[in-house]
Structure 1
Amino acid sequence: MSIRDQLGKDLAEQADAATGGLQTVSAQVTDVTDEGTVHLLMLGSQFYDVACTDAYRNRAAGDWVAVRRGAVPVVLWRLGDDPQDTDEDHITEVAKDAAQDLIAISAFTWGTGAPGSGFQQVTTLWAKKDGAGKGVLYAQMTSVPDTSPEAPATRAPRTVKISPTDSGTWRRGRPDDYASTPTQGAWTSLGDRRGGWFYGTAIASACAGKSVKAMTVRFTRKRGSGVNGKVKMRFYLHNHTSAPSGQLNLGDGPETLLSLAVGAKGTATLPAAWRTALASGSARGLAIYGHGRSEYAALTGGTLTITFNA
């Protein structure tokens, strides 16, 4: 029997004594990982990389779940509201996004003769492009025997996703070749690291002429970087369009936007002042910088999602 299986067996036996032999217990998800497993707080203890059945979908930190205990515990399903109710808003947003590609004309026909009844002759046709980049037509007429259909509500520009063109880690004022992903803090006495993600001028270009509603960034905490438990990630802005050959200079910050355990995925919502700076081009990217072992961690990802107001 492996050390992991023996530990699981011992914990299961202890849990049997504490819960009277219950085979299924409730637990709270603390993180969802890059491998589809979850970290749990169960029976007062932290469990890492617990497998899940396919019945547990849309996994998220904070969920209460039913767990089958044993040498290798398994999450069976989520406890709570009917998924039909909780998924409704998400489905509506997806439908709205898909509808942006539709053109609001029910039919388009032609011929050599005049059209049938109900048609109105256009003297001048006007066209423009709306904020979402879609064509808009307006027909000017000499008379209006029938009322015009209502103009559709102005749609917000499509959501934009921007991936970093580069990333890296710096220590003692220069790039750190020993860290393959952006890293903060220090595990040894060689000095604290700082990591950065670079987007060129793509963020400001995507926001030009638009009103930004929100910016979020998706990250995953790299395994094998620091302690297993949650580490606070200290975020900063920076003004580099590409990775510098010298020091990575930090801007506004720090902001603790995420706390992640090993392998955990998370989405950071940027403060209003930060999204304004990135949209205007006064800032160009994101960085992390922490101190010592307690803040030592590495992150992968960095894809930025930008949503706009109508």
Structure 2
Amino acid sequence: MGDAAEDYARTAMNQAATGAGGIVSARVEDVTASGRVNLDLNGQLLLDVACADSYRDRAADDWVAVRMGARPVVMWRLGDDPAATDEARMQALAENVLDDMQVIRAATYGTGAPPGTGWQQATETWIRKVSGKLEVYFKVGDASDPSPGTPPTRPPKAVTISPSDTGSWRGGRPDSYRNNPYQGDYSGRGNLRGAWFYGTAIASACSGKTVSSMKVAFTRKSGAGANARRSLHLYLHGYTSAPGGDLNLGDGPEELLSLSVGAKGTATLPAAWRSQLASGSARGLAIYARGSRDYMSVTGGQITITFSA
């Protein structure tokens, strides 16, 4: 935390904090890549504030209780009881784990008929693979005990694709000083545009499947531009790898995400964009802005694709 933020924290503790321990409420501006948070405290931006372990599932725009001091600490989230939300989340996680399992209660063998009741002798066996999962069918002579139904087919599992390369361009050529994607101009030397490249991995992952969503994760680097939230100006591009000349932009801009310095966030791509990426008519993502207001450097670019069939 900078000296100005620490000075403000001391002032806030003396003037605004009430109750034992100096607990005040604040709004989370963003979650940082380190898992800390940037806080909006009465209009003042406090950067990279530590959080107690009790503050879990951290997210931008949470209202939180902050113990003030020379080093403020977020203690817990303010709001409704999360029990119902947690139950649904845990159920979804359990179903996802079970989807990876082929469950048979017991597998035994011997030289004669099995002991006990309820057994049926299979005279023929068929197997097939559906959505990567094995199905087995037994033909029996007497189906006195009705067969259980076939469970519904689950969609293919989500995949996450990381960029194979990144870079920035200025003045119609690559900027050799910047390996990370940048947008805007802070020096008067010309506007920057940055890009993430994935080869053909996105289209390959989507081949033969129905895409339901694409989400991309970004982190805004420290030391580039204003500390406050600024918008990413996102575009598509058609390159499988970094061009040696200018980086031409496709559809855009879309302002799907705003980040303060050091923050991480996830943007959901528009339906038209995911269709282009899935088909291969677009290959990757780019950022571009004019001037210094939205100047920033961005890392990440991992795209998570979910499917409905």
Fold similarity call, TM over 0.5: yes
Distance 2:295 2:176 in 1: 17
What is the TM-score of this pair, normalised by structure 1? Answer: 0.92
Cα deviation per residue 1:194-252 (whole Å; 9 max; x = unaligned)?
11111111111111111111111111001111111111101111111111111112111
Task: Please report how far the alpha carbon of residue 125 of structure 1 lies from its aligned counterpart in structure 2 after TM superposition.
Answer: 2.3
Q: Give the conservation status (yes or no) of the 8 Å contact 2:9–2:68.
A: no
Greater shift, 265-274 or 53-62, is seen at 53-62
2:148 is the alignment partner of 1:119: no
3-state SS of paired residue (1:257): coil
Task: Please report how far the alpha carbon of residue 3 of structure 1 lies from its aligned counterpart in structure 2 after TM superposition.
Answer: 7.4
> Which letter maps to 2:26?
A
Q: 1:278 to 1:81 in 2, by over 3 A?
A: same
1:12 to 10, 13, 17: 10
Identity fraction in percent: 55
Q: Give the conservation status (yes or no) of the 8 Å contact 2:193–2:286.
A: yes
Q: Any gaps of 5 or more consecutive residues in structure 2?
A: none
2:81 is the alignment partner of 1:72: no
Cα deviation per residue 1:102-130 (whole Å; 9 max; x = unaligned)?
11322222222233543333343222221
Q: Give the conservation status (yes or no) of the 8 Å contact 1:123–1:141.
A: yes
Q: Tell me which residue corresponds to 1:171.
A: 170
Distance 2:2 2:278 in 1: 51
Spell out the pairing of 1:135-154 with structure 2 (5 A cutoff): 135-141=134-140, 143-154=142-153
Greater shift, 81-90 or 9-18, is seen at 9-18
Task: Please report how far the alpha carbon of residue 38 of structure 1 lies from its aligned counterpart in structure 2 after TM superposition.
Answer: 1.0
3-state SS of paired residue (2:257): strand
Task: Please report how far the alpha carbon of residue 91 of structure 1 lies from its aligned counterpart in structure 2 after TM superposition.
Answer: 1.7
Distance 1:282 1:124 in 2: 48
Q: Tell me which residue corresponds to 1:257.
A: 256
Distance 1:190 1:10 in 2: 35
> Which letter maps to 2:65?
A
Spell out the pairing of 1:152-231 with structure 2 (5 A cutoff): 152-231=151-230
Q: Give the conservation status (yes or no) of the 8 Å contact 2:18–2:24.
A: no
Matched residues, number: 307
Distance 1:97 1:7 in 2: 43
3-state SS of paired residue (2:232): strand
Q: Any gaps of 5 or more consecutive residues in structure 1?
A: none
> Which letter maps to 1:285?
G
Q: Give the conservation status (yes or no) of the 8 Å contact 2:196–2:301.
A: yes
Cα deviation per residue 1:242-283 (whole Å; 9 max; x = unaligned)?
111111121111111110011000001111111111111111
